[in-house]
């Protein structure tokens, strides 16, 4: 499964304004909730419950908040970039700048893990991360992700 099989341009936020974990999650969830006709509060709750188990801030400026939702029909993926960085309680204690937010149907554990692995793999490319940090347009972010996604 490729990232672009799931990612919709309207769920790309090139300039996150929130300064804390919950705010970033809420900001990333809003277009997903509208697009999938889901309750905003339900999506935020699932993601914050997952964060209580341990931060999804993996370090290196990366956060991959994720969760599973009962009765969800399709995977949802959002991408956001915070120029200033956010305290996301990352493993390395440093600010988080790049976010990939994933919500999957509760019954799709395999797809959930495959997409998380793919996202993690492309985020190991330092040039890819650098490129994401320097563009301010959602179409450019989509293009950068597409180029990286197609190279695997």
Residue boundaries of the structural domains of the chain = 3-150
Catalytic residue among 66, 97, 112, 134: 66
pLDDT at residue 143, as a whole number: 96
66 is catalytic: yes
Could you tell me where the DSSP H helices lie in the chain?
A: 21-36, 40-53, 109-122, 126-134, 138-150
Q: Quickly state the pLDDT bin for 71 (edges 50, 70, 90).
A: confident
DSSP labels, 111-125? HHHHHHHHHHHHTT-
DSSP labels, 28-50? HHHHHHHHHT--HHHHHHHHHHH
pTM value > 0.85: yes
Which residues lie closer than 8 Å to 111 by C-beta, 6 or more apart? 1, 75, 104
Which residues lie closer than 8 Å to 54 by C-beta, 6 or more apart? none
Strand 57-59 and strand 66-69: the pairing is unpaired
CATH architecture of the domain 3-150 equals 3-Layer(aba) Sandwich (3.40)
pLDDT at residue 152, as a whole number: 73
Give how far the C-alpha of residue 58 lies from the chain's centroid of Cα atoms, to the nearest Å. 12
Query: Which token pair is 105?
Result: 């149907």
Look at residue 138 and give its three-state secondary structure.
Answer: helix
Q: What is the pLDDT of residues 102-143, one digit of tens each?
A: 999 998 888 889 999 999 999 999 999 999 999 999 999 999
Mean pLDDT to the nearest integer, 81-92 = 95
Q: What is the pLDDT of residues 58-68, one digit of tens each?
A: 999 999 999 99
How far apart CA 139 and CA 51 sit, in angstroms, is 29
């Amino acid at each position: 499964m490729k990232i672009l099989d799931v990612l919709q341009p309207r769920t790309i936020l090139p300039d996150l304004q929130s300064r804390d974990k919950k705010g970033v999650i809420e900001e990333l969830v809003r277009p997903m909730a509208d697009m999938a006709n889901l309750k905003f509060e339900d999506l935020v709750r699932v993601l914050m419950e997952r964060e209580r188990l341990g931060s999804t801030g993996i370090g290196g400026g990366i956060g991959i908040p994720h969760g599973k939702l009962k009765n969800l029909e399709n995977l949802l993926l959002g991408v956001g970039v915070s120029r200033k960085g956010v305290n996301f309680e990352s493993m390395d204690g440093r600010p988080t700048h790049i976010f990939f937010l994933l919500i999957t149907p509760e019954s799709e554990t395999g797809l959930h893990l495959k997409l998380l692995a793919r996202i993690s793999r492309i985020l190991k490319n330092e040039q890819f991360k650098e490129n994401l940090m320097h563009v301010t347009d959602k179409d450019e972010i989509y293009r950068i992700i597409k180029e990286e996604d197609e190279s695997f």
